[in-house]
Structure 1
Amino acid sequence: MHGGLHNRLLVPEVREEEIDLKSKVWQESKNIWRVALPGVISRVGSFGTLVVTQSFIGHISPLDLAGYALVQTIIVRFVNGILLGMSSATETLCGQAFGAGQYHMMGIYLQRSWIVDLITLTILLPVYIFGRQFFMLLGQEESIATKAGDVSLWFIPFVYSFVFSLTIQMYLQAQLKNKLIAWISVFQFILHVPLSWLFVTYFSFGLPGAMSALIISSWFLVFGEFIYIFGGWCPHSWRGFSKAAFLDIFPIVKLSLSSGLMVCLELWYYAVLVLIAGFMENAEVGISAFSICLNIYGWELMICLGFLGAACVRVANELGKGNANAVRFSIKVLVATSVLIGVFFSSLCFFFHKELAQLFTNDKEVADTVSDLSGLLSVSVFLNSIYPVLSGVAVGAGLQGTVAIVNLICYYLIGTPIGIYLGYGVGLQVKGVWIGMICGIVCQSITLCVLAWRTNWDEQVLKASQRLNRYYLKSEEETNQSSNQA
């Protein structure tokens, strides 16, 4: 009898634990989606402008499409990788500063990132100016290299918008104010589609019309962000331009470089594979088909990058607060949510592969090649749901240097050689290159899982505190308070 009573008394306790776990998961999910959803919308909208531009150019001519594909997949990814990576230092510092309540430092970190990124982009400008020579040096066909050289000049105003859009997004995201970016990105995309139709289809401006529409819509996003920040909607984190932005630049550069290397090694991986495809038989078809697949893949990746941002913010905020247990729990919920989304989108790519190809080209040979790659595309889309989240965890903790080493080994010492061997040695062509890419991503995903599992998060809390104290500058209120007390 006593045993039965004891068992009955245990039931409510188990249920309470289950309810408590459900409420914790629900609360954490709300925190994640609060950051992830606006991040997903903004990234999908911004990247969507590139995809829409490619779609319009693809209906102009196969040569224009191949030239645009080369520049967007290689040069733009090369420069964007550096800028995105270096900007992720802003994400780390702003996220941890917000968690620690050091709000005024966020505006200073933002200005420092503008200085570092603007100088970096200006140094890299010759890559765009001498685009034709660059692709000729890499051994591309002269007609494709010449067209790519024309396209690369049009991309210069576009990439300068990256300096501001990337860093401002991370700055606002860290303080949970990125709904604005989502709305502006939606308007940007809505503006870009009819603008592209007007310039390319109605006025028949061709390639210059498509690129002009891209430039206008990209700067529309940046000006909207400027109005929000300078207009007083970030009173605690934006105190105006400050000379303090020029102080402690070198430690920021060091963190930015490790961040840049981490992302670059990832984004350049796909660019290297497109280059490999360019040396195969029927290069124009190979580049165009591979680029279309990478754009579909990249568009879905933007959704996963929303979770990368959420992972970074959640980890950085909790480390700033000194809560290691919350970091561990957040990682589990993030990975589970992202994997479910990955399963959904990989299924769409597998079942609707023919329709996807027809959106980007009228060329039957290119469309057939895209359709043939659909199985590999769906696998890649699923893998997208794992490694970006774990990369975001690393960025939030400031572990970019470690992930850079992982990316170097998995992508370039494992994935690329396998892709070259299968593409050329076995004769699988573009499909072999893609299988090599998947092998590299699988190795990276497994390594990052082990890294996240074995990281001592209590130790990371201490490191985050030391980092914030090293960069900390007193606000005007604190300075005045100290003067009055003296």
Structure 2
Amino acid sequence: MGSALETLCGQAVGAGQLQMLGVYMQRSWIICLATSLALLPLYLLTSPVLRLLRQSTAIAAVSGRYARWCVPQLFAYAVNFPIQKFYQAQSRVWVMTAISGAVLAAHALLNRVVVARLGRGMVGAAVVGDVSWRLLNAAQFVYLVGGSFPEAWTGFSRKAFASLGGFVRLSIASAVMLRLEMWYYTAVLILVGCLKNPEIQVGAISICMNYQLWTLMVALGFNAAVSVRVSNELGANHPKAAKFSVVVATTTSAAIGLVFTAIALAARKEMPRLFTGDAAVVKETAKLGYLLAATIFLNSIQPVL
């Protein structure tokens, strides 16, 4: 729902309408928080929903407990995503990167203490995630109101509640497109959960998806960069520059994707040991190595396009 901001903020910067960025961001906050509220029952009822989808009782119970503790992250992300797009549209990425790096370090340290040393398990991991997201939002909000954006941020405005209908329509279109792209992860996990020995199968596919999502982060970086560049150039009425940006970003991302693909193939038997010591899970994950490699390469191109 927040992806509409990529188009609107980027074109506003290209057209020199910086005063609209803060208003657009606030509209996106309203829509994303309302969406999070609508999604809240799914978080609270995760266990019965998973059981309805014929997942194992053990997996459904653990997932439900984890999801309930992750509710603060749902609302934190609804606040964070529009701020990200506000910064990216103006190419203010290095401060955001530094903030994210500092929070990541704190997140790793907290996980080591709470999960590893204190033994708080899945609930501890969820609570650490809640804390980390709040730290991230607080730091980014301080940067927002600190005077670095005198034209783009002039404070909270009632204009955010105007023209919400058109903004919602664009948001829904963006959400449908992205959901259709991303739901196959969920569909695969649900289907795997219906197999025999679901704990082993879900473990194997989850390891593959973790590694694939690590590599996808690079493609999503190019996704954000080309989205900003194209929308800036279109806002400034430079369509040829926008087209050239797409070619450069797609080619570069595909080249990096080839490297990740080669690593996935070369390390398909050893890579699972980074995640688990269970020999059965390691064996099942290694079998998926060739499919994982193909997925990584395709996903280095698709997000950028």
TM-score normalised by structure 1 residue count: 0.62
Counterpart position of 1:17: none
Give secondary structure in 1 for the equivalent of 2:152: coil
1:353 Cα deviation from its structure 2 partner? 2.2
1:354 Cα deviation from its structure 2 partner? 2.9
Letter in 1 for 2:288: L
Counterpart position of 2:134: 219
Counterpart position of 1:241: 156
1:167 aligns with 2:82: yes
1:59-138, aligned counterparts within 5 Å? 86-138=1-53
Give secondary structure in 1 for the equivalent of 2:65: helix
In 2, distance between residues paired with 1:330 and 1:204? 48
- Judge conservation of contact 2:253–2:301 (CA < 8 Å) in 1: yes
Counterpart position of 2:217: 302
Give secondary structure in 2 for the equivalent of 1:232: coil
In 2, distance between residues paired with 1:197 and 1:354? 27
Q: 1:184 aligns with which of 99, 118, 127?
A: 99
Counterpart position of 1:361: 276
Deviations 1:116-148 (A, max 9, x none): 010111011000111111111111111221121
Deviations 1:126-185 (A, max 9, x none): 001111111111111112211211111011011111112211111100011121111111
Structure number, greater radius of gyration: 1
Letter in 1 for 2:64: G
After TM superposition, which residue ranges in structure 1, 4 or more long, deviate above 3 angstroms? none
Counterpart position of 1:141: 56
Deviations 1:385-417 (A, max 9, x none): 111111xxxxxxxxxxxxxxxxxxxxxxxxxxx
Letter in 2 for 1:316: S
In 1, distance between residues paired with 2:117 and 2:58? 27
Give secondary structure in 1 for the equivalent of 2:70: helix
Work out the number of aligned pairs and report it.
305
Letter in 2 for 1:224: A
- Judge conservation of contact 2:33–2:79 (CA < 8 Å) in 1: no
Q: Structure 1: which 5+ residue stretches go unaligned?
A: 1-85, 391-486
**In percent, how many aligned pairs have the same letter?**
40
C-alpha root-mean-square deviation of aligned residues, in Å?
A: 1.0
- Judge conservation of contact 2:204–2:281 (CA < 8 Å) in 1: yes
1:229 aligns with 2:131: no
1:261 aligns with 2:176: yes
In 2, distance between residues paired with 1:258 and 1:227? 31
Give secondary structure in 2 for the equivalent of 1:365: helix
Letter in 1 for 2:223: L
Counterpart position of 1:154: 69
1:272 aligns with 2:226: no
In 2, distance between residues paired with 1:289 and 1:188? 29
Give secondary structure in 1 for the equivalent of 2:146: helix
